[in-house]
Structure 1
Amino acid sequence: MSAKYDNYKDKKVISIGTMSEITGLSERQIRYYEERKLIFPHRTKKGTRKYSFNDVERLMEIAEKIEEGVQTFEIRKEMLKKDKEIRDNMIRGQLNARFGIPKSPYDK
């Protein structure tokens, strides 16, 4: 795939109505998850929410967890932990690439 198509999943182009149709969640549920800081739509100058395909995936994960009985604050805590792990791995990778520092003491 060419570089110009690599970030299509990040582009915020989906309206809340379409997002509701894709995920099966109500617009009210989607707004609630935004209030709980589980999802972060882009806002146009007129205030319209726009979502990405990555947001679709995230909402589906959230809906599954809610169905399993997981509370929104627990989901947020897990998301923050996951984001931190991703950042830490990226930093370790950059350090390794730049200075040859292994990811862990057990890496060779």
Structure 2
Amino acid sequence: MASNPSYKERKVITIGVVSELTGLTERQIRYYEERKLIFPERSAKGNRKYSFMDVEQLIEIANKREEGVQTYEIRQEMLKDKRKDEKKHRRELLRGEINARFGIQKE
């Protein structure tokens, strides 16, 4: 059974509100989507919907861009972080399976 996403993960914020929250223009936000740095969902009418986590990510992207970091470099860093997180998650799952198999209790 899938758990409900936290309020920070729910994609409910419109691009106009995201623009106000981040100080980015709607065009900048769409550009970051084109560069595969942000992944909004679409409503039934095709409107972009963002989460609070997306807003936080956009602020980080904007800060890095102000420092002169290129979007390609930001994307590479995001992919590296994602792989690291996936690896950590797999390790935790494996540890849990081993502990369950051998009856090891967590202290």
Relative to the length of structure 2, the TM-score reads 0.87
**Structure 1 vs Structure 2 CA RMSD:** 1.4
SS in 2 for 1:9: coil
Gaps of 5+ in 1: 101-108
Q: How many pairs are equivalent?
A: 97
Counterpart for residue 54 of structure 1 = 53
Q: Deviations over 1:41-88 (max 9, x none)?
A: 001121100000000010000000000000000000000000010000
- 1:31 equivalenced with 2:25 (yes/no): no
Q: Counterparts of 2:25 and 2:84 in 1: how far apart (Å)?
A: 31
Relative to the length of structure 1, the TM-score reads 0.86
Q: Following superposition, which runs of at least 4 residues in structure 1 exceed 4 angstroms of deviation?
A: none
Percent identity between the two aligned chains: 60
Q: Counterparts of 2:45 and 2:39 in 1: how far apart (Å)?
A: 16
SS in 1 for 2:8: helix
- 1:69 equivalenced with 2:68 (yes/no): yes
